[in-house]
Structure 1
Amino acid sequence: MAVGDRQVARWLCQLIPAQCPFERDIQLWGHHLFGIPSMCKLNPVFEELVGLRFPSLSFLADTWGEDVTRYC
């Protein structure tokens, strides 16, 4: 899917997280107890969303020359 609108591209970059939001590290008093692995690789919807995020970032950076580090 091609992104052709600057506002839509910004909205997608803000809406879709850069990394899986479900991965967690459980810590107690600064010590790592265990980690909960992400389930995003098993969810095809997340893969499609990430597939929309990258073209949006590229559109903003290449077409508009916008600094996209705030979305990372």
Structure 2
Amino acid sequence: MKVFESTTKKIFFASSVSLHEAETKKADVSQLQVSYSQSAWNFLRPFRDWLDNLKVGDRQFAHRLCQLIPAQCPFERDVKLFGKTLFHIPPMCKLNPLYEEVVALRFRALCYLADECGEDISQYC
């Protein structure tokens, strides 16, 4: 049994609070912690919504998006010395809090070029 659970049970029993009420309060506290962690990233919500709602309806805009947003993470590397790999630098792009939205925007631009404009998008892959 964890120390926190044991201590809270003893405190709640000593203060004559039922076990059901104690569990309810514990759930309320955990819900409060989850809502706090979600609100910490809440300031990015307008940017996420803007990127999600951005419409790709222009050929030049779609080409520019495909050129600016890389298909693979440019930071991922294998550091080699004399032909032997010393270490690997993992992709850092997923640390970007807007990564999913930016990748989805690039995908929408590629789909627009392929489906609506009928262009060959193999140069962007």
Structure 1 runs (4+) greater than 4 angstroms displaced: none
Question: Does 2:122 match 1:66?
Answer: no
Larger-Rg structure? 2
After TM superposition, give the deviation of residue 7 of structure 1 in Å.
0.2
Instruction: Indicate the structure whose relative CO is greater, using CA pairs within 8 Å and at least 6 residues apart.
Output: 1
Higher strand share: 1
Higher helix share: 2
Structure 1 vs Structure 2 CA RMSD: 1.2
TM-score computed with the length of structure 1 as normaliser: 0.89
The residue that corresponds to 2:77 in the other structure is: 24
Question: Does 2:86 match 1:50?
Answer: no
List gaps (5 residues or longer) in structure 2.
Answer: 1-53
List gaps (5 residues or longer) in structure 1.
Answer: none
TM-score computed with the length of structure 2 as normaliser: 0.54
Kept after mapping to 2: 8 A contact 1:40/1:47: no
Aligned residue pairs total: 72
After TM superposition, give the deviation of residue 23 of structure 1 in Å.
1.1
